Structure 1
Amino acid sequence: MTQIDRRGFLMGSAAGAAGLVMLGGLAAPARAAGGPLTVGVLIPGSKSDKGWMESGYDGLMAAEKKFGAKIKVKYIENVKFGDMEQVLVALAGKNELVIGVGGQTQASVFKVAPRFPKVKFAIIGGNADAAKPGNVSGYDVRQAEIGFVAGAAAAMLSKTGAVSYVGGLEIPAIVNTGKEFGKGALYINPKIKYIENYTGDFDDVAKAKEATLAAIAQGADIHYHILNLGLRGMEQAAREKGTHIIGSYTDRCGTDPLYVAYTITGVGFQVEYAIEHAVAGDWKPEFKPFGLAMGPKSSDIVICTGATAAMKAKLDEIKKDLLSGKIKVLDA
């Protein structure tokens, strides 16, 4: 795997002694017979954020392990919104499949994709949009759905009768997840206190800490989030005040006692899905919702500590009711 810096230069072993090689905006080169599928990946945030971005990066690593020499991957992380179009052009000029790890890449992908009609584009966290170009797939993680389950778990785990949620940008997918988290908590305990805050930035550690401390001051002892590096602030607040977190995206139970549970939202699973189908030759431009319907690698919840048989049974019942439509949630 090759990392690329934000200016679009190859870095690491692939560059080697030859130095830096500028990526261009020309049509993606045809694959040599029997050659590897070339994949370019834009990771807007840090691949070490314990969140969405790291889950996407984990999916890349899993794909490399699975497909070996059948794929050749380049990725670039920490890309600001204003730079995404330029980075996507660079990646599309050298790769057959380009993946944007996050719904915030969608607008830029929609601009760039028509310029590279022979390149396949996939958006992890994309939503249904009639303007979607014909060479683009959007994969919906359905965060609000598993958010409802997380809210139910939080209500069962809370000792104070108060739970909280901190989101980053106040956009529909993030707000809907917060709403469903609150509904899930109320589904279990109609008297529970629910505190909801948004920092306006997925990576602002100070604001996330401030929002979590404010919730703790109102009694919250279990916190859920849709944050990236901002999660560090939530961790600081919870550690200082002795409260706990339900983590997002990936099961990391046992790595930090702050976390009593994790939701799985399948970001890495979707990265693998796009690569797998491109390798197999049956990739197609589509809008595809994932969520609980695609199985536990796509969406689930894992209780790390304190789970009773009754709690597990109730969460399984809720998941079944979500799948059947008995419980309806907002799309996200």
Structure 2
Amino acid sequence: MGYDMIFLPGNQYSDATVQVAKDYPDIAFAVLNGATTLPTDNITSILPDADQIGYMAGALAGLMSKTNVLGFIGGMEIDTTKAKLAGFEKAAKAINPDITVLSAYAGSFNDVAKGMELANGMISQKADVFFGDASAVDSGARQAIDAANGSGEIAIFDIGQPADLVALGQNPCLIGSVVTDNAGMLKLAMQDVEAGTFGGKTIYGSFDNQCLTVGTFNDDLVSADVQTSYMEYINQMAAGTFPG
């Protein structure tokens, strides 16, 4: 085929990759968000560290909540989303043991209306900081949060991923983001190809390889003191000492 490596930009390509890779053993196949059971001698999965993503969002949520109730909306009940939820809850409760986390799955990644419905239900139960892992469903949740805040003081917040949504000027309710560097993870896979060590493993984007980073804060909503405390927790996460 003339290629050293082929990049597949999503788990939906996993089955096709397995079928084709058998016929091209000398080509490296890198699958973004591929399952940890996917890798073979010439297939590597590339995944952001779901535990660390959950910790990053949970720490900020724990610092920002006034009601002690958080909301988490997932798309499908898959392992990576469940890990993010577990990390989110663990980190938030490490900061504030009185935190309660409400969670729900939309059963979809593109049902905007379902995101609005789930967020409204959690808002009615006093959730005031949200984090989601549901793509377009998250957009619906943020629409509901913005509507609940209205034109007055913003008191219900959302934490974005995987891009720096505050810097992109998206919804007013956003206070920060957990940013994933997919290009950085792909570079790690390319380095493995060059070194002859590609395949048979999952490459995780993490603090250690700088493929997970803190996005821009919304300075109008997140005080300097909270930002300082949050970055202290981030440093502890990088050192492996938080949330314990």
If the TM-score is normalised by the length of the shorter chain, which range does it land in? 0.7 to 0.9
Alignment of 1:32-51 (within 5 A): none
Match of 2:209 among 294, 307, 328: 294
Deviation at 1:213, TM superposition (A): 0.9
Match of 1:311 among 205, 212, 226: 226
Deviation at 1:231, TM superposition (A): 2.2
The residue that corresponds to 2:18 in the other structure is 110
> Quick check: 240-249 or 99-108, which moved more?
99-108
Distance 1:132 1:175 in 2: 21
Alignment CA distance shift 1:108-1:139 (3 Å) = same
Alignment gaps of 5+ in structure 1? 1-27, 31-94
Alignment CA distance shift 1:189-1:104 (3 Å) = farther
Match of 2:83 among 176, 196, 211: 176
Please tell me the residue identity of whatever aligns with 1:312: Q
Alignment of 1:242-261 (within 5 A): 242=149, 243-254=156-167, 255-256=169-170, 257-261=172-176
Alignment gaps of 5+ in structure 2? 150-155
The residue that corresponds to 2:44 in the other structure is 137
Alignment of 1:310-329 (within 5 A): 310-327=225-242
Q: 1:25-71, CA deviations, whole angstroms, 9 ceiling, x for partnerless residues?
A: xxx1x3xxxxxxxxxxxxxxxxxxxxxxxxxxxxxxxxxxxxxxxxx
For normalisation by structure 2, the TM-score amounts to 0.84
Deviation at 1:282, TM superposition (A): 4.1
Deviation at 1:96, TM superposition (A): 4.4
Assess if the C-alpha contact under 8 Å between 2:94 and 2:243 holds in 1. no
Please tell me the residue identity of whatever aligns with 1:221: D
Cα RMSD between the aligned structures?
2.4
Assess if the C-alpha contact under 8 Å between 1:114 and 1:133 holds in 2. no
Alignment CA distance shift 1:127-1:318 (3 Å) = farther
> Quick check: 307-316 or 262-271, which moved more?
307-316
1:147 equivalent to 2:54? Answer yes
Distance 1:145 1:97 in 2: 28
SS of residue paired to 1:117: coil
Alignment size in residue pairs = 232
Deviation at 1:117, TM superposition (A): 1.7
Match of 1:128 among 21, 36, 39: 36
Alignment of 1:61-100 (within 5 A): 96-100=4-8
Deviation at 1:177, TM superposition (A): 0.5
Distance 2:179 2:102 in 1: 22
Alignment CA distance shift 1:168-1:320 (3 Å) = same
The residue that corresponds to 2:121 in the other structure is 214
Q: 1:155-187, CA deviations, whole angstroms, 9 ceiling, x for partnerless residues?
A: 212233221110111011101101111111111
Distance 1:322 1:107 in 2: 35
Distance 1:164 1:137 in 2: 33
For normalisation by structure 1, the TM-score amounts to 0.63
Percent of matched pairs sharing the same residue: 23
Alignment CA distance shift 1:124-1:315 (3 Å) = same
Alignment CA distance shift 1:210-1:268 (3 Å) = farther
Deviation at 1:191, TM superposition (A): 0.9
Distance 1:252 1:229 in 2: 13
SS of residue paired to 1:292: coil
Distance 2:103 2:125 in 1: 11
SS of residue paired to 1:176: helix
Q: 1:244-265, CA deviations, whole angstroms, 9 ceiling, x for partnerless residues?
A: 2111011132402221111112
Alignment CA distance shift 1:126-1:212 (3 Å) = same
Deviation at 1:281, TM superposition (A): 3.9
Q: 1:127-153, CA deviations, whole angstroms, 9 ceiling, x for partnerless residues?
A: 433x62211122221022121121110
The residue that corresponds to 2:104 in the other structure is 197
Assess if the C-alpha contact under 8 Å between 1:124 and 1:141 holds in 2. no
Q: Give 1 or 2 for the bigger CA radius of gyration.
A: 1
Distance 2:11 2:225 in 1: 36
Alignment CA distance shift 1:127-1:105 (3 Å) = same
Distance 1:208 1:217 in 2: 14
Please tell me the residue identity of whatever aligns with 2:163: T
